[in-house]
Structure 1
Amino acid sequence: MSVKSLKNLSSLKECSPKGFYPDMVYVNTNESDLRIIQEQLISTEKIGNLYIGVSGLYNFNIASIRDLESILIFDASPTVKFFYKNIIKIIKKNSRNETLKEIERFIKNNETILFKVEGEDNISSNAIRILNEEIKENLSFLSSDERFMKIKNIILNNQFLFVNLDIYKEGSFDDLVDKLTENNLTIDTLYLSNLDLDIIKKINFKFISSLKGANIISAGDFCMQRLTKIDV
């Protein structure tokens, strides 16, 4: 069965915690073992057609090495929604090299919106530096034309969606699970960053139950990434 457009999921009820903090964008990840996780995913059999994840551009880095049809990003932060709205526009209009330049320009020009942390300087410069380091180390979706075009084609085919969802709100993902089933979407890989999987299991069990066999990327002790699967 073919996958329907993710636009069919646009009716999802969004929710963001009132006064959510920190309402900022983590353009990159500060987690370690990124190369190990990517190598493991490259050699892991595909079990679905959808990538789903939280936070910034690291999602595209992972999605670009899985041969999937769709990407769904969720985050409780309205600022992350603003970030992706602009990043998607940039990717649609530009080549890989121009995309990097435009992303750098966007980050610099919107520093006060994207990074709401008092007492810290050079956040945008550090984000741009790390982005370029990831590209050189072949860890980024911008590291090659092939990886970039995988992401761009998903976007051009209307198979990308961002939704403001708070995974720590009980039952907040129930509607999503139903709509994924209706649209022939099966989760292949889920990126949780440092979100607590044990808490999520208790308050969004229906969602967790839908992840049987999927790749789960999360950050353990000392921000070290780990790749697991859920046997529900």
Structure 2
Amino acid sequence: MNKSVDNYFMEGCGRCPLGGTPECKVHTWTSELELLRKIVLTCGLTEESKWGVPCYTFQNKNILMVSALKEYCSIGFFKGSLLSDDKNLLVKPGPNSQAVRLFKFKSSNEIITIEDDIRAYIFESIEVEKAGLKIQFKKNPEPIPEEFDAKLEKDPILKTAFEALTPGRQRGYILYFSQPKQSKTRISRIEKCEPMILSGIGLHDHYKSMKK
């Protein structure tokens, strides 16, 4: 087990204002996250800390993440769209997600019920990586600013959180990021909004809460 990952289970990723507080979303799913960690570690993957969350690799290739969002905890497969998913257990983080697929859980019983299936999907994801399979990405239907697009590609946790937002909230951020003419201003807006996205908060939700 990785000591940096231990910190995630105790304090969270530390990337939103709730990190290190009792309100941090990892504390909502303590037993579920511990169970998922144990299952994943039986599959021969290397445990690392990337983007502030537990990331599991095979021969230095990212296979999956274990993480907590506001409404659920999850296993997120980096190349989940390439898995056969014969039992229809995986879901998209959002309607436009082309790569990541998730197991979503809201209780330990949900995990225990499909524990063998979880392992089978993990082993299949390892085989996908061994085969060198690649995802053929389609152009995103929503015109995302290139600075934000680059940020999402470098940060799968942020990408998963963004794709988990409602289409309306996604569009609100995209329009806000697109407005400035200068790249540095767009980047500044993206950086300021990152904690809100990771917390599942829409741009307009934030402004409404400030007015109260």
TM-score (normalised: structure 1): 0.22
Higher relative contact order (CA 8 A, sep 6+): 1
TM-score (normalised: structure 2): 0.24
Which structure shows the higher helix fraction?
A: 2
